[in-house]
Structure 1
Amino acid sequence: MKKTLVLGASENPTRVSYDAVRRLRAKGHEVLAVGLREANIFGVDIQKGQPQIEAVDTITLYLNPERQKEYYDYILGLQPKRIIFNPGTENFELLRMAKEKGIETEIACTLVMLSVGHY
């Protein structure tokens, strides 16, 4: 299973990031979450800031491109194998930076990927 960081996680059940945490956990993935407020959803602690995390396979983004800028060094520094840009998070500057570092990028929807077995 893939160790996944949900960046832009929310405890609000109407947010897509909330459902992403739930569905990733249901599929057996190890899930870490970073958001604006500390909380716990589905047994996953949402952390604030930029916590150091080891061996991240995938970062799935739920931050708009403008909000991503403060996380560029953090995202690239975690050295994930893959970054998923969910709808509304497409950012060609970060895509280019990631590709230059050898990080796979996908413009896709994590929820759809999980539902069709392509995660």
Structure 2
Amino acid sequence: MKKVTLVLSASTNPNKYSNIAIKRLIDKGIGVVGLGIRKGTVFGVTIDNEKKEYKNIDTVTLYLNPKRQEEYYNYIISLKPRRVIFNPGAENLEFEKLLKENNIESEIACTLVLLSTNQY
């Protein structure tokens, strides 16, 4: 079963880091699903605009500021990912605590750096 990464705040805009992350994840052979404000497709990945019950989510990589993350707390926990990555600007101590209470790892890091240094 292939591990999948959920990119939260995925965008079709090529100038957004979430868009670049989708491309780099695909390049590394990692399964990707996207959740964003608008539906779309980027690099063959469908971006949904509603919370779906994705299966096999290993990692959630966040590109949302802490205030916007609040509506996703329960949703992300319900997906039971192995870890959540807080990209620069997404750091959130409150959510990190909730994740820990639910036995989900959290990491303050940059997905792009982790991928480029083979630490993903």
Unaligned 5+ residue runs, structure 2? none
Q: Quote the offset at 1:2 in angstroms.
A: 3.3
**After superposition, where does 1:1-119 map in structure 2 within 5 Å?**
2-119=3-120
**Paired AA for residue 33 in structure 1:** G
CA-CA distance at 1:94 after TM superposition: 0.5
Matched position secondary structure for 1:9: coil
Please list every run of at least 4 consecutive aligned residues from structure 1 whose deviation after the TM superposition is greater than 2 angstroms.
Answer: none
Give the C-alpha shift of residue 72 in structure 1: 0.7
Task: Give the TM-score normalised by the residue count of structure 2.
Answer: 0.97
Tell me how far 1:17 sits from its aligned partner: 0.2
For 2:74 and 2:107, the matched residues in 1 are separated by: 19
TM-score by length of 1: 0.98
**Aligned-residue identity in percent:** 52
The Cα offsets for residues 71-105 of structure 1, whole Å up to 9 and x where unpaired, read as: 11101110100000000000101000001111011
Aligned pair count reads 119
1:37-79: CA deviations, max 9, x gaps? 0000000000012111112100000111110001111011101
